């Protein structure tokens, strides 16, 4: 143990502890900006500087270890002056027009400047400019970048993609795309993890609210919305709602107030995905010589982009099933359009997702089953739906819960866990068991695949057949797993991959909480919703059963293939 004093308080901590953590252990908060636990502890912003008695230079608390007998001052006059100067210098290179910034109210720099009572910036303002395609799903605003390097670190160390890099040197040192590439050409999976780890508004998703508002106002359009599984576990965070108040039914009510005509559930098509994907898996198992193994899930577009860029030879291993988002669009513009007696182009299909890559997925040319335009017209993130609710001044505390519309609003417990890592695998195994044995397993029979470890493996037995399953989240973990498979060090039949750590619960479109990862907590909410649901199996969803009876015929039918499957090499 090391004994030291911080702001005259005695502190005893393990050797090697940073000053930042030592201070936190006795309730002393040292402000930070670039610091990201375990990932970015480089002291670049110089906000966490402290004074050590007897030393001339102030040191960064995030990466300086304590020493026996140290006397540290976290808010001496010298420290406060230097900290204000440092934040002022950062502001002078940052476009601080907060009123029009997407992160206003949720920005670490804004909060810091407020906390430090910085009321003017006495330095010459100088911003970096960079051209950017504003139609691209991921937007970088160079004028707001504070060069904290968090995006560089997350993209490299967690996702293993190295899309962002340090460019130029000296005073011109900056963050940019690796090797001067353009965002259209680089191997970005669009997972959005750089956005959720940016402390300011330098990175964001393309804002698609404007177009939506026009569609809602257009009397010729029937606006049909779908809400993704993971959104329900997170949408209330931005409003400070308690979990019990931030229900999906309250979100349904809020969306109706915006003028959306029908509010449906992506869970409905998550069940449909399982019907198709579990049967496809069984078909592949029965004809092992005709197919490549393992079969990979295909519902995460970040992962599918990753395969296309990094391992195109694995494309035949992907399930041909479209994602629930895209199945929803296809069903909305065919089956549901018929039910309403309208043409497909009269339907405007909105998707509310925890994901930035879903914006790209919906725009793929092959996602147009009716030949009249995209099956999903627009995708907004959990953050954007929060902005929509705020823009419309919907008072959530006065809003009563409302049910989803029918029939596309019906989803099972197996569907809702899609939003957590391992959920797609578990849902698929539940139904594959039924398809192979004619009986349901215990609903929680396959809970062995749950958890937060980046890679999890399980061997389960179904009707005498051993299924070797793996679940992976985060693209860095995914690359390592694929390399092991390629070297023959690991062998599986079925692998679920989600690009974001923790799955969509930790998706790149979810609300941002600086230095806090909430994928596990949100995933736990989804598992609770599964346990509470009267229907625990995708194959028992009555609306899905009716869809097969009256429209699709059966899983993997000709019509199902036409509408619900895709060729990933397109």
Instruction: By CB under 6 A, name the binding residues for ligand HC0.
Output: 228-230, 266, 270, 273, 299-300, 323-325, 353-355, 358, 418-419, 424, 503-504, 507
Q: Is 510 left (phi over 0), alpha (psi -120 to 50) or beta?
A: beta
Phi, then psi, of 222 in degrees rounded to 5: -100, 115
Taking CB under 6 A as the binding criterion, the range among 90-98, 138-146, 425-433, 493-501 that sits at the site for ligand SF4 is 493-501
Nearer to ligand HC0, 141 or 265 (CB): 265
Taking CB under 6 A as the binding criterion, the range among 122-130, 213-221, 332-340, 497-505 that sits at the site for ligand SF4 is 497-505
Determine if 302 is a binding residue for ligand SF4 (CB under 6 A): yes
Please report how close the Cβ of residue 458 comes to ligand SF4 at its closest, in angstroms: 20
Dist CA 336 CA 134 (whole Å) = 33
Please report how close the Cβ of residue 270 comes to ligand HC0 at its closest, in angstroms: 4
Q: Which does 302 bind (CB under 5 to 8 A by kind): ligand HC0, ligand SF4, none?
A: ligand SF4
Considering only 508, 511, 523, 555, the residue that binds ligand SF4 (CB under 6 A) is: 508
Please report how close the Cβ of residue 228 comes to ligand HC0 at its closest, in angstroms: 3
Please report how close the Cβ of residue 273 comes to ligand HC0 at its closest, in angstroms: 6
Dist CA 166 CA 177 (whole Å) = 8
Residue 88 three-state SS: helix
Asked if 457 and 469 count as a contact pair (C-beta separation under 8 A), the reply is yes
Asked if 505 and 354 count as a contact pair (C-beta separation under 8 A), the reply is yes
Order of strands, edge to edge, in the sheet holding 494-498?
A: 295-296, 494-498, 465-473, 455-462
- Of residues 347-386, those binding ligand SF4 (CB under 6 A): 354-355, 357-358
Q: Which does 161 bind (CB under 5 to 8 A by kind): ligand HC0, ligand SF4, none?
A: none
Considering only 45, 499, 525, 526, the residue that binds ligand SF4 (CB under 6 A) is: 499
- The angle at the Cα of 535, spanning 531 to 540, to the nearest 5 degrees, equals 145
Dist CA 555 CA 275 (whole Å) = 6
Considering only 411, 507, 511, 523, the residue that binds ligand SF4 (CB under 6 A) is: 507
Order of strands, edge to edge, in the sheet holding 59-60?
A: 9-13, 2-6, 71-73, 49-52, 59-60
Nearer to ligand SF4, 354 or 523 (CB): 354
Q: Which does 229 bind (CB under 5 to 8 A by kind): ligand HC0, ligand SF4, none?
A: ligand HC0
Determine if 102 is a binding residue for ligand SF4 (CB under 6 A): no
143-174 exposure pattern, b = at least 16 Cβ within 10 A, e = fewer: bbbbbbbbbbbbbbebbbbebbbeeeeeeeee
Contact residues for ligand SF4 (CB under 6 A)?
191, 300-303, 354-355, 357-358, 498-500, 503-504, 507-508
């Amino acid at each position: 143990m090391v004994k030291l004093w911080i702001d005259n308080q005695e502190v005893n901590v393990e050797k090697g502890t940073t000053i930042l953590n030592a201070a936190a252990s006795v309730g002393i908060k040292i402000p930070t900006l670039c610091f990201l636990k375990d990932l970015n502890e480089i002291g670049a912003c110089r906000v966490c500087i402290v004074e050590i008695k007897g030393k001339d230079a102030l040191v960064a608390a995030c990466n300086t270890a304590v020493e026996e007998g140290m006397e540290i001052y976290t808010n001496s006059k010298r420290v406060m002056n230097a900290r204000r100067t440092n934040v002022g210098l950062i502001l002078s290179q940052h476009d601080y027009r907060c009123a029009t910034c997407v992160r206003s109210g949720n920005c670490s720099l804004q909060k810091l400047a407020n906390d430090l009572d910085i009321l003017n910036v006495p330095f010459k303002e100088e911003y970096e400019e960079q051209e950017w395609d504003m139609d691209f799903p991921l937007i970088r605003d160079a004028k707001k970048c504070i060069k904290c390097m968090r995006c560089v670190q997350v993209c490299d160390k967690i996702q293993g993609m190295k899309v962002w890099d340090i460019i130029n040197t000296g005073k011109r040192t900056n963050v940019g795309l690796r090797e001067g590439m353009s965002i259209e050409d680089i191997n970005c999976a669009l997972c959005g993890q750089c956005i959720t780890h940016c402390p300011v508004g330098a990175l964001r998703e393309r804002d698609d609210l404007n177009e939506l508002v026009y569609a809602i106002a257009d009397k010729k359009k029937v606006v049909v919305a779908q809400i993704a599984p993971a959104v329900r576990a997170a949408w209330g965070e931005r409003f400070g709602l308690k979990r019990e108040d931030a229900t999906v039914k309250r979100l349904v009510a809020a969306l109706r107030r915006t003028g959306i005509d029908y509010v449906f559930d992506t869970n409905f098509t998550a069940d449909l995905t399982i019907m198709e994907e579990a049967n496809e898996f069984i078909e592949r198992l029965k004809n092992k010589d005709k197919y490549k193994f393992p079969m990979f899930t295909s519902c995460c577009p970040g992962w599918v982009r990753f395969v296309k860029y990094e391992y195109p030879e694995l494309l035949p291993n992907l399930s041909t099933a479209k994602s629930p988002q895209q199945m929803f669009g296809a069903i909305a513009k065919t089956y549901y359009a018929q039910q309403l007696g309208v043409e497909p182009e009269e339907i405007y299909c909105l998707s509310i997702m925890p994901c930035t890559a879903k914006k790209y997925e919906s725009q793929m040319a092959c996602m147009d089953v009716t030949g009249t335009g995209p099956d999903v017209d627009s995708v907004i993130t959990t953050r954007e739906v929060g902005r929509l609710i705020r823009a419309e001044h919907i008072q959530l505390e006065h809003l009563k819960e409302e049910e989803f519309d029918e029939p596309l609003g019906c989803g099972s417990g197996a569907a809702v866990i899609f939003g957590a890592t391992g959920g797609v695998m578990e849902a698929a195994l539940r139904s594959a068991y039924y398809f192979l044995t004619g009986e349901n397993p215990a609903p929680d029979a396959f809970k062995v695949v749950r958890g937060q470890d980046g890679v999890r493996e399980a061997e389960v037995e179904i009707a005498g057949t051993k299924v070797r399953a793996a679940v992976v989240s985060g693209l860095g973990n995914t690359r390592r797993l694929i390399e092991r498979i390629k070297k023959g060090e690991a062998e599986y039949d079925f692998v679920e991959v989600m690009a974001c750590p923790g799955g969509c619960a930790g998706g790149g479109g979810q609300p941002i909480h600086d230095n806090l990862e909430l994928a596990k907590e949100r995933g736990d909410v989804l598992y609770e919703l599964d346990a509470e649901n009267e229907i625990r199996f995708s194959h028992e969803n009555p609306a899905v059963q009716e869809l097969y009876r009256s429209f699709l015929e059966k899983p993997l039918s000709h019509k199902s293939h036409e509408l619900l499957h895709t060729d990933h090499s397109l």
